[in-house]
Structure 1
């Protein structure tokens, strides 16, 4: 069984009216890092996931979930 990490970063970022660059600055990472996490190319570390949650004022569980595929 394969597992994929899905996220709601883009919608949460849009909800707050933030650009990728603005969110990146809040988290101390590059805009490209935010882009790759949003697009599922990069799985964030626990530290980055916590920083993203704090920056978006959401619990980590609201931003990330695991989807299993057969």
Structure 2
């Protein structure tokens, strides 16, 4: 299961593999690289946006002031 979020203007994909979450930064060309973000395995999918907001809130700007899911629950 994969989720994509707009996190204050940056795209982050989060994938579930077994019991662990793995996060990736998605570049403008569509390439992904590890985000180096540890997400506790007990964070449910419905709370991922809030978790990302809490972690990255200092990146908020007047034009990019929110975190929202852009591709909920993709398989793959």
Give the TM-score of the pair, scaled to structure 1. Answer: 0.32
Please identify which structure carries the higher helix content: 1
Structure of greater relative contact order (alpha carbons < 8 Å, 6+ residues apart) = 1
Please identify which structure carries the higher strand content: 2
Give the TM-score of the pair, scaled to structure 2. Answer: 0.30
